[in-house]
Amino acid sequence: MRSIEKDLGCTVVDRRDLTLEGIVIRRDGLERGGDLSAVEGVDVGRPARPVGRKSGPLSPLVSAQMSRMPRARTNPEMRLRRELHRRGLRYRVNHPALPGRPDIAFTKVRLAVFVDGCFWHMCPQHSTMPKNNAEWWAQKLQRNVARDREKDVQLQELGWKVLHAWEHEDPRTVADAVEELVSELRIAHDG
What is the spatial distance between Cα 150 and Cα 178, in angstroms, rounded to a whole number?
Answer: 22
Residue 163 vs residues 4, 17, 34, 159, 191: alpha-carbon distances, Å: 11, 13, 23, 13, 22
Cβ proximity to Zn ion: between 17 and 21 the closer is 21
d(CA 105, CA 107): 6
Contacting residue, 123, 177, 178, 181, with Zn ion by CB under 5 A: 123
Instruction: Please tell me the distance from the alpha carbon of residue 44 to that of residue 164, in angstroms, as a whole number.
Output: 20
- Interface with Zn ion, residue 174, by CB under 5 A: no
Rounded CA gap, 2 and 6, in Å? 6
User: In this complex, which beta carbon is closest to Zn ion, that of residue 168 or of residue 186?
Assistant: 168
CB of 34 to Zn ion, least distance (A): 21
The reply on whether position 125 binds Zn ion by CB under 5 A is: yes
Q: How many residues bind Zn ion (CB under 5 A)?
A: 6
- Is 137 a residue that touches Zn ion (CB under 5 A)? no
Among 166, 171, 177, 181, binds Zn ion (CB under 5 A): 166
Among 31, 168, 170, 180, binds Zn ion (CB under 5 A): 168
Q: State the minimum distance, in angstroms, from the CB of residue 176 to Zn ion.
A: 18
Are the C-beta atoms of residues 25 and 115 closer than 8 Å to each other? Answer: yes
Strands of the sheet containing 11-13, edge to edge, are: 11-13, 161-166, 111-116, 104-106
Task: Tell whether residue 37 is a contact of Zn ion (CB under 5 A).
Answer: no
Write down the least CB distance from residue 104 to Zn ion, Å.
19
Nearest to 29 by CA among 124, 113, 144: 144
Residue 118 binds to Zn ion (criterion: CB under 5 A): yes
Question: Is 173 a binder of Zn ion (CB under 5 A)?
Answer: no
The residue ranges that bind Zn ion (CB under 5 A) are 118, 123, 125-126, 166, 168
